[in-house]
Chain A
Amino acid sequence: MRIAFPYMGNYPIAFKMLIENIGHCAVLPPKPSMKTLSLGVQYSPEYACLPFKILLGSYLEAIEQGAEMIVTSGGSGPCRAGYYGILHEKILRDLGYNIPVVVFDSVFQKPRDFLSKLSAILKQSNTSWYKFAKVFNSAWQKLKIIDEIELASHHIRPLELNKGTVTKVVNSWLYQLDGTDKKGAMQELCNAAISELKQIPCKEGFIPLKIGMIGEIYVVLEPFVNFNIIETLGEMGVYVNRSISLTGWTKEKTFFDNREKRLAKKAYPYLKTSIGGHGINSIGEAVEYSEHRYDGLVHLAPFSCIPEIVSKGILTKISKQLSLPTLTVFLDEQTGKAGFVTRLEAFIDLLYGRREKGEVING
């Protein structure tokens, strides 16, 4: 079966490997572009959040390439993302495409549903559960390696002597990772990538500004939506700590993980209950970034994102109380790169100014 899936950041190469190694054909939609956005906006509800629109556009592009099935994650709310798959399927059907959108909710909350859907896909290609377990393990490792390489690059990019070096190196290693399936080989590749990154010529004695990035998972992770913010800021000599990664998120949602509890505790004085999505995490992370003496926060979310609207309201208080400058940007299909970059530059100037005045102790 020709199977497509949501496109987010650099992760698609891991999902592609998973699907191909269980005997199906992965339809990798093109990287999100203005065409994707335009398609998605045309057929989505006006106030659907940006990830919904981009994913719909992406699915339409995948269908153009021959996708026969779409596989995606689900959720139990109150963030709307848990309902995307169902509404996407109905919209596609209304447009004349009878493509099943298979939604995988949490295996812990709905084990029978999860396993029966997975079983149907494995049966079609005669793949055993044992084989699936092995392939899944490798795919998980690939995801972790992608995260590791990216996070390492975030540290080094602000220090690079020649702009663009880190990005070139990362892209080249990710390209190679795409062609590597064996666990041992993947780990060696990871080590080599990190090693090469550490050898990139860097500025001496330069202490970059430290910015924490918080907000809704898709806009934080997908460069098309956030105008490649980490690269942009990195090349301005700013270190961005991205609070979210896909392996981190999956751990929070499926395994017992202390991070969520820890963040909820830190958020408690400001927000007493979970509000879905990454809402309470954004608050807890803001507190933690303040504790770690970060210079500022960038808070990103899609326009009309419900949990992050609540977070924004509360972050204004935290920002004042903890003296942590916070820039909140709500992104939608009308957001222009120039305006966005200008706001970032102004924000960075402000932070440098604060540092010079000695208002912040860094390092």
Chain B
Amino acid sequence: MTLKIGIPRALAYYAYGELWESYFKNLGCEVIVSPYTNKAIVDDGTRETVGEACIPIKIYHGHVMWLAEKVDYLFIPRLINIDIECKITFCPKFLGLPDLLKVSLPNLPNVISPNVALHGKKSRLMKLGIEIAQQLGRGALLGVISMYKALKEKKLPEVQQGKKGLNFALVGYPYFLHDDFLNFKIHDKLTAAGINVVYSSEVSKTQSSKYKKNMSKSLFWEFSNRALLATYYLLEDVKIDALIHLTAFSCGPDAMLGKLIELECKERGIPFLELTIDEHTGEAGIQTRIEAFIDMLALRRKGA
């Protein structure tokens, strides 16, 4: 019988989801990914999650609730470390996510919750492939092959280079930039105004790693660290005209990241806008702020 594996379309799915889907399909499982975030999912998640958690965590809960009755296994990896630098981990809410879910949603089906601590080593990723396969009653060899094939199939992101006209950088975490419920389709609003949008999530590590020297200490959180390095690349190499930082209300790491980005933009005279989103944010407000930002930029350029 084909096992049904549920993957929530939230948080790290937007960074690693393609790899996981390929892996489980190669393993002979049927993969069910929850739908794109919608109001029902957000409402469900908000109701069950600890109140002080940020909206992406609440949304994750909602996706898990959607999947719970429809699958044999839920895939909820515990992300501890990806980078070769051991001190770069993930936000504590990621680290404690499986435990938080257990408390908030006690009637979940089987959960596959492996510790993902890769330290930049492909061998550890292969070992993970074996561990998960064996948990599902599949062989170790199939596990390795499935993971290896999934890695090969992974497409590399293509950075949209700076184009003629205005180039805006959209900086934030993948689960913000690519979840239309959270990003209020800002990309479309900007392109409708004739602006070329470049995502921080599509700057590769190879492109941005040369800017590690700008930082006396890496940020402790994988996505934050990548976003800051990508910001340097977007400011120095792509030479963007403005930067919009998309973040969640009460996001801990972003309190640090946001300020660091703001100061870097200020130093280079690049206009900076921070948009804070939570479950109460209205589209009209976002629209107004973006229009005002674009207008101010236009005025500035006229006066320059």
Contact = CB atoms under 8 A, between A and B. Distances in A.
Interface string B201-222: 0000000000000001101110
A360 to B, nearest CB: 24
A310 B93 CA distance: 6
A317 B103 contact: yes
A276 B81 CA distance: 13
Given A47-B249, A303-B250, 19 more contacts: A48-B256, A77-B89, A78-B91, A83-B219, A87-B259, A90-B263, A271-B99, A273-B80, A273-B95, A273-B115, A275-B96, A304-B250, A306-B253, A307-B96, A309-B92, A309-B93, A310-B95, A310-B96, A313-B104
Contacts of A87: 256, 259-260
A272 interface: yes
- 4 shortest interchain CB distances as A-B pairs: A77-B220, A313-B50, A310-B96, A306-B252
B252 A305 contact: yes
A76 B220 CA distance: 7
A78 B220 contact: yes
A316 B103 CA distance: 8
B274 to A, nearest CB: 9
A80 B260 CA distance: 13
B258 interface: yes
Contacts of A272: 78, 98-99
Interface in A32-83: 45-49, 52, 76-80, 82-83
Given A48-B256, A49-B252, A276-B92, A314 B263 contact: no
B145 interface: no
B32 interface: no
Contacts of A309: 50, 52-53, 92-93
A315 to B, nearest CB: 9
A314 B103 contact: yes
A25 interface: no
B266 interface: yes
B260 A90 contact: yes
A271 B251 contact: no
Contacts of A52: 255
Nearest to B222: A78
A49 B254 CA distance: 11
Contacts of A304: 52, 250-252, 255
A82 to B, nearest CB: 7
Interface in B54-113: 78, 80, 87, 89-93, 95-96, 98-100, 103-104
A275 B96 CA distance: 6
A79 B259 contact: no
A296 interface: no
A234 interface: no
Nearest to B88: A77
B52 A330 contact: yes
B252 A47 contact: yes
Contact of B216 (A47, A86, A313, A317): A86
B219 A47 contact: no
B92 A78 contact: yes
Contacts of B50: 309-310, 312-313, 316
A310 B252 contact: no
Given A45-B259, A47-B254, A91-B259, A307 B92 contact: yes
Contacts of B89: 77-78, 276
Contact of B92 (A76, A94, A310): A310
Interface in B195-250: 216-217, 219-221, 249-250
A270 B99 CA distance: 7
Nearest to A311: B96
A279 interface: yes
Contact of A275 (B95, B219, B250, B263): B95
Contacts of A48: 255-256, 259
B171 to A, nearest CB: 15
Given A82-B220, A87-B260, A276-B95, A314 B252 contact: no
B251 A94 contact: no
Given A47-B250, A77-B221, A83-B219, A306 B263 contact: no
Interface string A82-122: 11001100110010000000000000000000000000000
Interface in A296-338: 303-307, 309-310, 312-314, 316-317, 330
A158 interface: no
B221 A47 contact: no
A275 B92 contact: yes
Contact of B252 (A76, A80, A274, A316): A80
Contacts of B259: 45, 48, 87, 90-91
Nearest to B52: A309
Contacts of A6: none
Nearest to B215: A86
A314 B87 contact: no
A281 to B, nearest CB: 13
13 contacts: A47-B254, A48-B255, A48-B256, A80-B253, A86-B216, A87-B260, A273-B96, A273-B115, A275-B92, A306-B252, A309-B50, A309-B92, A310-B96
B56 to A, nearest CB: 13
A80 B255 contact: yes
A275 B221 CA distance: 12
A52 B253 CA distance: 13
Contact of A313 (B80, B100, B256): B100
A83 B52 contact: no
Contacts of B251: 47, 304
Contacts of B103: 270, 313-314, 316-317
Contacts of B256: 45, 48, 80, 83, 87
B111 to A, nearest CB: 12
Nearest to A52: B255
A83 B99 contact: no
Nearest to B103: A317
Contacts of B217: 82-83, 86
A76 B260 CA distance: 18
A215 interface: no
Contacts of B253: 80, 306
